[in-house]
Chain A
Amino acid sequence: MEALIGALTIFVLAVFVGYEIITKVPPTLHTPLMSGSNAISGITIIGAILCAGAGGEGNFFSALLGFLALVMAMVNIVGGFLVTDRMLHMFKKKKD
């Protein structure tokens, strides 16, 4: 129970932090914000790694599900960060 309340505390505080930072992002950057935050939501990869690498604790199915989760999360992370980078370079002021 104590661990749960600790985790809930962190969750709620992080939502507040997120709210404060993201309200300050100007509309011009909303698309990169979405693709960039999308890449961050690929953090589930931590869970996927633990599932796919559980070894003897899991079975074939748990490893397979973990593998699929890893592929998905990896597409999310690599695709998200790279496309955001590509987009943001376009926003940089070009020198005439």
Chain B
Amino acid sequence: MEWINLAYLVASILFIYGLKGLGSPKTAVRGNRLGAVGMLVAVVATLVNKDVLSFGWIIAGMVVGGAIGAYIARTIKMTAMPEMVALLNGFGGAASMLVALSQFIITPAVFRNPTWLAALMLSALIGAVTLTGSLVAWAKLQGFAEKALKIPHQNLLRVVLSFVTVALAGLFIWQGHGFMLLLLTVSALALGVLLVIAIGGADMPVVIALLNSYSGIAAAATGFVLMNNGLIISGSLVGASGIILSKIMCKAMNRSLRSVLFGGAMVSDEQMASIPGKEFYEGKVKSCGAEEVAMLLEDARKVVIAPGYGLAVAQAQHVTQELARTLEARGAEVKFAIHPVAGRMPGHMNVLLAEAEVPYDKLIEMDAINPEFSQTDVTLVLGANDVTNPAARDDPSSPIFGMPILEVDKSKTVIVIKRSLSPGFAGIPNQLFINDNSLMLYGDAKAVLQDLIRALQEL
């Protein structure tokens, strides 16, 4: 029995080195592979363990799951990474929940002491919330329910269901009935749906990071059920990772975790009523064509591109890089300004631009790029909206006041490439669009950029 714990220790060390490798693009590929080797060590050690008596189900499960996983990983588009990660979070939670239920059946009643029951309860509860929460997040990312959905009395419902779940959890630990475990699981599944359904699409980076953390914590709880250090260590590593990422995302939106989870939409209904509609823009917006922008770009020495979710929607990452190369060939310096919450998950823009072969040292973080805007000739805003709104910096009455932004308005000229003047996720008009140094270039990002490249070549 001792050697198997030694194998889990080796696996844990490999996981830690693997995550450490993810700290730099140079070592990341190796780091990820170290993690995979760690997983192999843990799985093989468990398989040759004397506790495993039959292999039929195991082989079948590995073949089916492995094939599905490999298929998704190879075919998924980079623009759909948030969906994939959401789905994987859910599967991780589901696995922990199912293991908890199965362990309850397998373990003889004499071994079911209160601590064991408590760990089992947590594993089922967190696993279930992660499963349905992730499925709802996935559906939202697929576009089935972009906006924060309002169920009547949803906050009351959530409070009631939370109490019911806690009560069932207490009863289960006290009496240890399997029926209670079943009820608890069902109520936790419902709770997962209720917790995420009211959260808007823009808060998805926080939600996905948080669910990532839950899937780790559920695995750690399963570790307490099995008293298995391998599970406890790996689970808590992932748990910590998710928590850190959600904190970073919250900070980048100037929101507390509490307000993301329980606040519903970013802007309250009362605030919404006082926000001007279309009249905000009337007569103040200047629009232009691709040729005009091409002429501006021709003279530009320094160009910054600020991408947002719209870039992912339009699948415009490759044509963006083509434009950047065209400009560089003409002697301009091109950089990319990345806001931490641009896109639908942490690091979303970086992955898309990496796919288009933009060197990672050209992707500049918000705090590093902001001082550079005043020396920038042209900034192209590509499908980003609220993260560029100067009102967040200047207007204390704005609902998003205090949110850190990309200060694109400080550059000489700002070109905003956008389909229309429709508001971003916060639902408020953008001060940037009516600034004197801003020009709107309407259209689908991909088509507009193609026109722009053509116009540049014709000059």
A binding-site residues for B, Cβ under 8 Å: 1, 3-4, 7, 10-12, 14-19, 21-59, 61-94
The residue in B49, B62, B68 that gathers the most chain A C-beta atoms within 10 A of its C-beta is: B62
> Within the complex, what minimum Cβ distance (angstroms) separates A8 from chain B?
8
A90's closest neighbor in chain B, by CB?
A: B354
Given A38-B238, A78-B66, A73–B92 Cβ distance below 8 Å?
yes
B88 and A47 within 8 A (CB)? no
* Interface size of B as a range: 35 or more
Inter-chain pairs besides A48-B99, A56-B53, A77-B39, 6 sampled, C-beta below 8 Å:
A15-B236, A38-B212, A43-B234, A45-B39, A54-B106, A77-B65
B238 and A46 within 8 A (CB)? no
Q: Give CA–CA (A56, B105) in the complex, Å.
A: 12
Q: Give CA–CA (A47, B88) in the complex, Å.
A: 18
B350 and A31 within 8 A (CB)? yes
B98 and A22 within 8 A (CB)? no
> Within the complex, what minimum Cβ distance (angstroms) separates B307 from chain A?
13
Q: Does B25 contact A (CB under 8 A)?
A: yes
Q: Does B180 contact A (CB under 8 A)?
A: no
Q: Give CA–CA (A57, B60) in the complex, Å.
A: 20
A74 and B84 within 8 A (CB)? no
Could you jot down 19 A-B contacts, CB within 8 Å?
A: A1-B115, A4-B224, A10-B233, A18-B241, A28-B25, A31-B350, A36-B31, A44-B92, A56-B53, A63-B57, A65-B98, A78-B70, A78-B73, A79-B73, A81-B36, A83-B81, A86-B73, A86-B74, A91-B354
Stretch at the interface among B14-22, B291-299, B443-451: B14-22
The residue in B38, B101, B359 that gathers the most chain A C-beta atoms within 10 A of its C-beta is: B101
> Within the complex, what minimum Cβ distance (angstroms) separates B334 from chain A?
15
> Within the complex, what minimum Cβ distance (angstroms) separates B13 from chain A?
11
Contacts of A66 in B (CB 8 A): 57, 61, 98-99, 102
Flag B224-255 by CB within 8 Å of A: 1 or 0 each: 11111111111111111110110010000000
Contacts of A67 in B (CB 8 A): 57-58, 60-61
Contacts of A94 in B (CB 8 A): 357, 359
A58 and B234 within 8 A (CB)? no
Q: How many inter-chain residue pairs (CB < 8 Å) link A and B?
A: 388
Contacts of B355 in A (CB 8 A): 90
B106 and A57 within 8 A (CB)? yes
> Within the complex, what minimum Cβ distance (angstroms) separates B9 from chain A?
10
Q: Give CA–CA (A47, B92) in the complex, Å.
A: 12
Stretch at the interface among B157-165, B215-223, B272-280, B432-440: B215-223
Q: Does B95 contact A (CB under 8 A)?
A: yes
Q: Does B144 contact A (CB under 8 A)?
A: no
Q: Does B55 contact A (CB under 8 A)?
A: yes
The residue in A30, A56, A81, A82 that gathers the most chain B C-beta atoms within 10 A of its C-beta is: A30
Q: Give CA–CA (A66, B57) in the complex, Å.
A: 8
> Within the complex, what minimum Cβ distance (angstroms) separates A19 from chain B?
5
A83 and B72 within 8 A (CB)? yes
8 Å CB contact of B39 from A12, A24, A43, A88: A43
A38's closest neighbor in chain B, by CB?
A: B88
Q: Does B23 contact A (CB under 8 A)?
A: yes
Q: Does B1 contact A (CB under 8 A)?
A: no
A11 and B220 within 8 A (CB)? yes
8 Å CB contact of A75 from B65, B105, B228, B340: B65
Flag B1-42 by CB within 8 Å of A: 1 or 0 each: 000000000011001101110111100110111011011001
